[in-house]
């Protein structure tokens, strides 16, 4: 009988967790995070540490810059008092749960406080989020579906909600919706989503121009906002949902709609209340899982752990902006 994944040593022991993380982060041997040295690096171990002092487990020293470091230096886990094996377990649970896992569930499962579980989950989401989106998606012979989704409460009456007249002229309170624009490349399944203040040509133009190759075939619904944006791409096909048309040959937006179905059920059923300032991280979590959906949960967790470097998240210095724009 195969061993259960949660029975793996790196989910139970800090020593095994540290060795597991070292194999992922340093496949060719330790590298100094200060100067990049990889040859003159040695371990400080036990009672035989430098100058006869006892070194903590996993401590290394660079022979070039003389700095001491461990595998967590320069990562999301740096200076954390949470045991490393609990970090790895939290990463696995977030990567393996198709619609996410709540911070309350994490706090009960890991035996940490709710506040700690919430902070851990946001740090792991930061590792999942592909913040700079280096290469454009699409290209010659590729099709990218683009669509938007509006997320928010369904209640018409809400304290502080904006007042608008209904069909009879009566003032009603409507809660504002958050707008997410998503790009999905057919075939590869790569997803990139953006939290935007509004869905207009001025807002979407920099996103499409930065994220898509010019030879891409653009696939959208009949929304007029996409028509002036499609001129710079190889081809633009539309499907008319308003007249009940959802597929016309290879013309459809069913791929991105399938992604939205998972996003809605996750944000509405698991997370329920997502602050607009953090929505970009929640959406990045769903992007990551969907993009890597064709590999195993363990392989997906490894991909997540490869993204921990250089992404320390300190909430006293956190970005409190409401939206994520396309990178310049």
Domains of the chain as residue ranges with CATH: 143-293 (3.30.420.10)
**Integer Cα distance of 291 and 271 in angstroms:** 20
- Tell me the per-residue pLDDT of 38-74, one tens digit each, with 9 for 90 and over: 888 988 875 444 445 577 888 999 999 999 999 999 8
| Confidence (pTM) | 0.85
For the segment 239-245, the average pLDDT, to the nearest whole number, is 90
Query: Which of 124-133, 195-204, 289-298, 308-317 has the lowest average pLDDT?
Result: 308-317
pLDDT at residue 238 greater than cutoff 70: yes
- Tell me the per-residue pLDDT of 278-323, one tens digit each, with 9 for 90 and over: 899 999 999 999 999 999 999 999 999 999 987 776 654 344 433 3
Q: What is the pLDDT of residue 230?
A: 86
**Integer Cα distance of 198 and 4 in angstroms:** 46
Residue labelled with tokens 């940490």:
112
Instruction: Find the DSSP H helices in the chain.
Output: 14-25, 84-96, 103-110, 114-128, 201-211, 254-266, 279-291, 297-305
- Tell me the per-residue pLDDT of 211-226, one tens digit each, with 9 for 90 and over: 999 999 999 999 999 9
Q: Which helix (H) or strand (E) holds 184?
A: strand 178-185
Q: Which helix (H) or strand (E) holds 151?
A: strand 143-151
CB 171 within 8 A of CB 163: yes
């Amino acid at each position: 009988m195969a061993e259960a994944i949660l029975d793996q040593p790196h989910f139970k022991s800090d020593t095994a967790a540290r060795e597991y993380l070292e194999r992922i982060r340093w496949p060719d041997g330790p590298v100094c995070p200060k100067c990049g040295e990889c040859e003159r690096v040695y371990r400080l171990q036990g009672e035989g540490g430098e100058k006869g002092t006892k070194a903590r487990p996993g401590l290394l020293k660079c022979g070039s810059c003389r700095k001491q470091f461990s595998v967590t230096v320069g990562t999301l886990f740096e200076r954390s008092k949470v045991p490393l094996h609990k970090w790895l377990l939290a990463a696995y649970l977030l990567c393996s749960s198709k619609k996410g896992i709540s911070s309350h569930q994490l706090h009960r499962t890991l035996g940490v406080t709710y506040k700690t579980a919430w902070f851990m989950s946001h740090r792991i989401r930061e590792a999942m989020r592909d913040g700079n989106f280096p290469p454009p998606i699409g290209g010659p012979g590729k099709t990218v579906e683009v669509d938007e989704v509006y997320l928010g409460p369904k209640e018409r009456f809400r304290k502080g909600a904006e007042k608008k007249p209904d069909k009879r002229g009566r003032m009603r309170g409507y809660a504002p919706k958050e707008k997410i624009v998503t790009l999905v490349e057919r075939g590869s399944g790569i997803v990139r989503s953006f939290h935007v203040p509004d869905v207009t040509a001025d807002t979407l133009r920099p996103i499409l121009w930065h994220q898509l190759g010019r030879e891409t075939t653009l696939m959208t619904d009949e929304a007029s906002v996409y028509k002036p944006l499609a001129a710079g791409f190889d081809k633009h096909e539309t499907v008319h949902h308003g007249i009940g048309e959802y597929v016309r040959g290879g013309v459809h937006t069913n791929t991105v709609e399938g992604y939205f179905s998972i996003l809605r059920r996750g944000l509405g059923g698991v997370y329920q209340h997502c602050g607009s300032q953090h929505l970009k991280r929640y959406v990045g979590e769903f992007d990551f899982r969907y993009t890597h959906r064709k590999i195993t949960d363990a392989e997906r967790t490894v991909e997540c752990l490869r993204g921990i470097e250089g992404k320390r998240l300190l909430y006293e210095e956190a970005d409190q902006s409401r939206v994520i724009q396309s990178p310049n």
